[in-house]
Amino acid sequence: MKREVVLIDAGGTNIGSVSYALERLGARAILTDDAGLIRSAERVVLPGVGAAGPGMARLRAANLVQTIQELTQPVLGVCLGMQLLYGHSEEGDTECLGALPGRVRRLPGGPGLRVPHMGWNLLEPLRDDPLLDGIKQPSWAYFVHTYAAAPDAATVAASTHGGPFAAVVRSGNFCGMQFHPERSSLVGARLLENFLNQ
Amino acid sequence: MLSKRIIPCLDVRAGRVVKGVRFRDHVDMGDIGELALRYRNEGADELVFYDITASPEGRSVDRSWVELVARRIDVPFCVAGGIRSVSDARDVLHAGADKVSINTPALERPGLITELSDEFGVQCVVVGIDSIREADGEWRVRQNTGNPDMTSAPGLRTIDWLMRVQELGAGEVVLNCMGADGVREGYDIEQLTAARAICSVPLVASGGAGDRGHFLEVFEQADVDGALAASVFHSGDVSIPELKSYLIERGVQVRPFSAG
């Protein structure tokens, strides 16, 4: 039987590419904003490209904030989706879901340090986690973002742009990837596969 | 550390990949899906699909191939050509493109840049600038460059436009140096260096790549974040795996071909 993943429709524009990546791995991606379907899913992915404010507004409008907070199955936030799992984002001073401890802040810019952080960067493992199974070093992932969370106890792997930031995180059943696994070639495919296998 | 990006550009006309010299005389290069996969397998960091007929004809891109590409490849890609509204951009992004690039429509209506970045985030919004040095020594922009008969000069200095698009919400700029485009004598280092000095978002060089040394030159001298090229990759004159090894040996940080 095909593994099923429910994708929360938060209006993010990477919904298509995340679905296709899951399909390439033989999973079935179901896009929905229905709370019942989300609650009963084996695994949930919160994709997202865009800004934190409109992203949270969309989840509130769909009445999904509490639903997501109370999920007990594996949940993966991708890019903005990961940022929304934190308590707060500096982007638009937005109150977020609070499923992960910590806050999301704007990346530092400066000479030679372009923001948005856009392109392939190295993943730096900080601790063992099933999400990193089979991920050899060095591993590169594709990032496109302006905001990020500082590394903390939940951080599985960091990356560096100016300073270190959280690239792969896990706190209980909630996971996040700040880069785009759906666009990170074989490394991204393996990370998604690892999420599907837990 | 963030790596420099190697970006093949596939010019699309009527659903096929084509190439031209100085934007003229287009020759068929093959099927979009096959070429996209070929470049992904060769280690391209990102792809740009540019519908060269879309803007002059006043129509939006045909999206059927966008979804096909999005399903097939697992590296990022950007779609350019004829994106004139939030709705056009949404269609392309929802079909699976990671970024949209706007050029002529931004010149016609600069507010479009802000509308797109407000809606989708700056990281989705690339502004393409076609630029050429005029007789007085100034670089100025061109619009509707997809069709030589419709190409026009709005009289805007490239440097002024580059400042403006960043204020309006561009998340990345592709500077296409038309004097160098298609002639393979190297990127326009002088112009790209001038652009780099005032560009705080990622800057991608376009136009002029003829050999692997040109890539080294543009990364080392103009400090661009990515280098875009078409004909040298399509012809096989520069192979991406070899180019990447060459750059790594010379100290330029790129994602190695072996990384998959």
Residue B124 has its nearest CB partner, among A49, A115, A160, at A49
Within 8 A of A184 by CB-CB distance, chain B residues are 74-75
Give the pLDDT band (50/70/90) at residue B102.
Answer: very high
Distances (CA, A) of B161 to A11, A39, B203: 31, 49, 14
Judged on CB neighbours under 10 Å (0-12, 13-18, 19+), A171 is: middle
Q: Which of B45, B91, B130, B188 is catalytic?
A: B130
> Are the beta carbons of A104 and A90 closer than 8 angstroms?
yes
* DSSP-based three-state secondary structure for A129: coil
Dist. CA B151–CA B186, nearest whole Å:
24
Q: Is A25 on the interface with B (CB under 8 A)?
A: no
In a mutational test of the A interface, the residue from B6, B37, B67, B123 whose CB has the highest number of chain A CBs within 10 Å is B123
Please tell me the CATH superfamily of domain B5-253, with its number: Aldolase class I (3.20.20.70)
Phi, psi of A193 (to 5 degrees): -60, -45
State yes or no: pLDDT of B57 exceeds 60.
no
Q: Which domains does chain A have, with CATH numbers?
A: 4-196 (3.40.50.880)
CA dist., res. A120 & res. A142, Å (int): 4
Position B234 confidence tier, pLDDT thresholds 50, 70, 90: confident
Q: Which residues of B touch A120 (CB under 8 A)?
A: 2-3, 5, 45, 255
Q: What is the mean pLDDT of each run of 10 residues along chain A (198 residues)?
A: 85 82 95 95 90 90 96 96 96 95 93 92 97 95 95 97 97 97 96 95
- C-alpha distances (whole Å) from B182 to each of A31, A81, B100, B148 are 43, 41, 23, 14
Q: What token pair was written down for A123?
A: 């993943």
Band of the pLDDT at B212, cuts 50, 70, 90? Answer: very high
Residue B260 has pLDDT above 60, yes or no: no
Q: Which amino acid is present at B251? A: G
Flag whether residue A24 sits within 8 Å of chain B, measured between CB atoms.
yes
Average pLDDT over residues B62-88: 90
State yes or no: pLDDT of B55 exceeds 60: no
Per-residue model confidence (pLDDT) at position A193 = 97
pLDDT at res. B61: 53
Please provide the distance, in angstroms rounded to a whole number, between the alpha carbons at the two ends of chain B.
18
* 3-class DSSP state of B81: coil
Task: Tell me the residue ranges of DSSP E strands in chain B.
Answer: 5-13, 16-21, 24-31, 47-51, 77-80, 99-102, 125-133, 139-142, 172-177, 203-206, 226-229
The minimum CA-CA distance between B127 and chain A, rounded to whole Å, is 14
The more confident residue out of B89 and B149 is: B89
| Contact residues, chain A, for B44 at CB < 8 Å | none
Q: Does B91 touch chain A (CB under 8 A)?
A: no
For this complex, say whether ipTM is above 0.90.
yes
Cα A160-A166-A169 angle, rounded to 5 deg: 145
Q: Which band of pLDDT confidence, cut at 50, 70 and 90, is reported for residue B257?
A: confident
* A118–B contact, CB cutoff 8 A: yes
Q: What is the mean pLDDT of residues B164-182?
A: 93
Q: The tokens of B188 are what?
A: 């326009």
Mean per-residue pLDDT, B217-232 = 96
| pLDDT tens readout for residues B110-119 | 999 999 998 8
Predicted local confidence at residue A73, as pLDDT: 98
